[in-house]
A and B are shown apart, each in its own frame.
Chain A
Amino acid sequence: MLTVTLSSLRARWASLAGAFLALGLGVGLIAMMGLGLAATLDAPGQQPERLAGAPVVVRGADELRVPTPAGDRLHLLARPRAVPSAVATALTKLGPTVADRSFPVAAGALGDGLTGHPWSVAGFGGHRLATGHPPRGPAEIALAAGPEQIGRTVEIRTPAGSGRYTVAGTLMPVAYERAVFFTDGTAARLSPAIDNVVVRAAPDAVRAAVRGTDVQVLTGDDRRRADPDPDRDRDALITMNALLGTAGGITAFVSVFVVGSTFAFAVAQRRREIGLLRTAGATPGQVRGAMFAEAVVVGVLASAAGCVLGARAAPWLIRLLVSERLAPPWFAVGEHRWPYHVAFWTGLTVALAGVLVATVRAGRIRPVEALREAAADTTDMTPGRWICGALLLATGLGLLTWRLLNDPGEALHRKTYTTQPMLLITAVALLAPVLAGPIARLIGWLPARLPGATGMLVRENAGAQIRRTAAVAAPVLVTVALAGSLLGATATINQAKATELGTRTAAHLIVQAPAAGLALDPRSVDAVRAVPGTAVMASSTTAVYTLEDGVALTRSEAHAVDSGALPAVRRLPVKAGDLEDLDDDGIVVNEEWAEHTVGEHVEVWLGDGTRRALRIVAVLATGTGSNGVYVTARNAGGARADRLEVAWRSGTDPVAAEAAVRAALKSSGAEVRTRERWLAEQLPAPNRQTRVGYLVVLGIALVYTGIAVAVAMVMATSDRGREVAVLRLAGAIGRQVLLLAAAEALTVVAVGTVLGMLVAGLNLAGIWAALASLSVWAPVVVPWTALAIMPMACAAVALVAALAPTIGTLRSRALDNTR
């Protein structure tokens, strides 16, 4: 049987080359994404930086720890607590100590977004003086800057307000933060809370001294908890993991889909050959064996080639991610072997499964049946195909409906809207033979009315040779459906968020603190409030923690506001209760909360970990998930107002009022934006990074499906030598044959496009419905550009792939091809 296998390997080169290419590339892609994904699991231990030189660091509690029956639940606090002064005093008895403080600083000309510290901790973090001297007087500072800045006096804003400081020394820059150093005394005045205490003493002695308090004693690598961004590397990896995980999921799906359908098509194409084998006395078992043996040979070789390809491609992918700043510079391919195993065995299994399903069918072919004129396909739909297709369709639609009814917010999560299309795509691809015929006939209706033969032939061929139509349409379907669904989903969700934000924002002016982390100074706030004809709300962003179902500690974004002006500046989707009732013992929650009954009390922890019982005064619709909860400023957990929202009362002259507000804030450094400008700035900017992200997540998979279109087309066309010959004997000239091949290719692409758009439409409708049931009435954003470009690209690929082999066929004599 092996010689038969080998000889058929030679004879069916187009099919086999196609199957080899599809599988090799598919395995290569899976291996590449797998290697990238594996690399995100290797977190390099982030070393302490800012207090790397400190022997022992005592740090205020920065985690909320809630004991539950299922063990302690932890969450990072929005505002870490300070080291209590009693503890700081107690520590001085153990040895020399340094009180460390961190606070936001805006230094105008010298840069905003800086962090202030006392000079005594500078040495622990590797800060070295470049020129000048350390800050000595209360109005002196040192920071990383050019030597020409020495002696310059600048206006500096700190949490304690603004003041004028003189640059006494300049420092060598460090990588992890942009710091401004004050004298220890000035730092203590500007930011009284002690964040960390550096102690020169034995760790055990320190632990003994702080026993009974909630402070942490950090030694070794743990000291990085005092760094400005202690989880920077881990977060970068989490981002990469999400990106490559999504990309890997999509790639794996596309590969499995393409490989399965290509191998099944390769077998389906060999009806005649199988019939001959059967006539010559091969049993069904032998036929299956031969096909299977062949698939093993091709599968092993192609999967191995794919692994080699993946090994080469993974470093390229990672270089791309690093050079586009999507990944940190140290991101590199690890030593993992499992991606190769996953890719190799997935590829081989799918290839063999595809062949197995097709050969079971092929084995049933009776000799005479196969030898009959290669007629129109009569058995496009096997019972298995019906059952699988119907089941998948039912599952896809069922999940969609179930989510709509139970958890519409789920539909907006990336994991949901990337996997949802996969179910529907597979279902539609399986059912494609049923749909392809009518669609092809519909598309061909008009051309078939024309006098020439091409229209009629296209319509009849595409409509009758369903198997071939479906096989070529499948990769087009995936391309169009994936691009349409994913791009449409993200665009629709972004649009919904923008719409929601726009609807919610009733304020005419939005005022923000001079720099992140800084608060608005109370005098300016009062001045704005004094402007006649305005409703002014000061707010800060914090968090509220709650224990759901007794075990899950969840964090909610919280807005701490002055309740009086809330309804005037924000139009919130209130489902129950009244916003006016919000007081210092109240909370406004959203429907995502397990407990959302007006009047009930809920146990919460505030941003600084304070435990409180608050009464639910109103309930908001969930929306796209950014509605958050509302508390009063007293429950802000220490966060101070950093934003003002100003709305005009009716009858106010907006021009005069805006001028008055700007005048009131003139010296505060606060930024005033009109509603329109502020909303525009909230939109996610379409930057190069986002585009590269899309390229990695979607682009690579789509290039692969493009190749799959070509492969399927070449396979289908190479099978048609006899048909072309018969047509030529009936009097078709070369140009007509080429025209026909082109028209057929376009028709098949059109069939795939229609099916793909059907799937994309269904997915987007699901997202629209989910948004609607979350009370967000935003239009569906259809990615028309992508939906136009994808089919055009597929059409171009299909044309080349159909015409090249047809030209080859035309070179030979028609008579030789009829035999």
Chain B
Amino acid sequence: MIGTGVRNGGGMTRDAIRLRRVVRTFGAGDATVTALHDLSLSFAAGTFTAVMGPSGSGKSTLLQCAAGLDRPTSGSVLLGDTDLTSLSETRLTRLRRDRIGFVFQAFNLLPTLSAEQNVALPLRLAGRRPARAEVRDTLARVGLSDRAHHRPHEMSGGQQQRVAIARALITRPEVLFGDEPTGALDSMAGRQVLRLLRGMVDDDGQTIVMVTHDPVAASWADRVVFLTDGRVDGELDDPSAEAVVARMTRLEDAPC
């Protein structure tokens, strides 16, 4: 179950995040829906993992539980040595702010703030005065130095998503989660975002976990984990788009 940082050059790998026997159900009584069935999974530091699966397979729930946005019904989620499930809501928020980055399909930028202000927001929320250079550097890393003073509505989708990535990166998180980060983008802008993510893994050893339904997006990852009905249903290392398509077709055709 331990991923290998193939393009990272191998060697000793450490798990950035580990899910142990995670169960997540919604509703109660007859209407209970189980999104995650006793799921265990690890993500090695410095790797790029894509999580795939048909609609309703629990991939978003997995991501939200792993990122501390949602609480499992049972089981534990370990970020390094910290068990996220044991933290209070405020502590969890602080931990998310400092150690986890999250990029959404809907960008979720604050509409009234400029790109620069959006990027600086997590630092400010943590009570720090962000150094101008730090913010500028982060924006430069996503290639948006010239958009620092634009508000979200003045930017294209791809640019907005890159601002969101910069915002997620400013706190130097241990893991960056992406929930279909390219889902709202055209293929060109999507490719730009994926190249950016890939580069962060290769150059800086960033750990990334990304949910996607796009085989092309998944092919940028080191490893693809497939989910069905809240359970791990195989994985692919060093995937190609074709292999992912083939695997997905099989999953989706399988009788439920």
Contacts and interface: CB of A to CB of B under 8 A. Distances in A.
B128 A451 contact: yes
A375 B111 contact: yes
Interface string A449-469: 001110011001101110000
Given A461-B112, A729-B104, A375 B121 contact: no
A726 B108 contact: yes
Interface stretch (A48-56, A88-96, A322-330, A811-819): A811-819
A594 interface: no
A736 interface: yes
Contact of A815 (B70, B96, B121): B70
B162 interface: no
B202 to A, nearest CB: 27
A376 B122 contact: no
Identify the interface centre among B64, B94, B126: most chain A CB within 10 Å of its CB.
B126
A452 B112 contact: no
B105 to A, nearest CB: 10
A456 B112 contact: no
A729 B113 CA distance: 15
A502 interface: no
Interface string A732-760: 11111000000000000000000000000
B112 A376 contact: yes
Contacts of B112: 376, 457, 460-461, 463-465
Contact of A730 (B122, B127, B129, B152): B122
A731 B122 contact: yes
A452 B124 contact: yes
B256 to A, nearest CB: 26
Nearest to B97: A731
Contact of A733 (B93, B128, B129): B93
Contact of B124 (A453, A735, A813): A453
Contacts of B70: 813, 815
A41 interface: no
Interface in B125-180: 125-129, 151-153, 167
A68 B124 CA distance: 81
Interface in B71-114: 89-90, 93-94, 96-97, 102, 104, 106-114
A425 B121 CA distance: 37
B117 A456 contact: yes
B153 A730 contact: no
Nearest to A463: B112
A181 to B, nearest CB: 83
B69 interface: yes
A807 interface: no
Contacts of A734: 89-90, 93
Interface in A670-721: none
Interface string A786-819: 0000000000000000000000000001110010
Contacts of B153: 372-373, 375-376
Contacts of B122: 730-731
A375 B110 contact: no
A727 interface: yes
Interface in A366-407: 372-376
Contact of A723 (B110, B125, B126, B167): B110
A813 B117 CA distance: 25
Nearest to A810: B89
Given A376-B153, A815-B64, A730 B125 contact: yes
Interface string B29-50: 0000000000000000000000
A731 B127 CA distance: 11
B93 A728 contact: yes
Given A728-B93, A729-B69, A730-B121, A452 B110 contact: no
A733 B110 contact: no
A451 B152 contact: no
B125 A453 contact: yes
A818 B104 CA distance: 10
Contacts of A731: 93-94, 96-97, 121-122, 125-126
A346 B190 CA distance: 56
Interface in A100-158: none
B110 A457 contact: yes
B113 A818 contact: no
A729 B108 contact: yes
A460 B113 contact: yes
A726 to B, nearest CB: 5
A818 B108 contact: yes
Nearest to B105: A818
B125 A736 contact: yes
Interface string A522-562: 00000000000000000000000000000000000000000
Nearest to B118: A730
A734 B90 CA distance: 7
A731 B112 CA distance: 17
Contacts of A372: 153
Contacts of B126: 731
- Counting from the closest, the 9 A-B pairs by CB-CB distance are A731-B97, A453-B124, A375-B153, A451-B129, A464-B112, A733-B93, A453-B125, A726-B108, A460-B112
Interface of B: 64, 69-70, 89-90, 93-94, 96-97, 102, 104, 106-114, 117, 120-122, 124-129, 151-153, 167
12 contacts: A373-B111, A373-B153, A452-B125, A457-B121, A461-B112, A463-B112, A729-B102, A730-B125, A730-B167, A731-B93, A736-B125, A818-B106
Given A457-B112, A729-B108, A734-B89, 5 more contacts: A457-B113, A732-B125, A815-B64, A815-B69, A815-B70
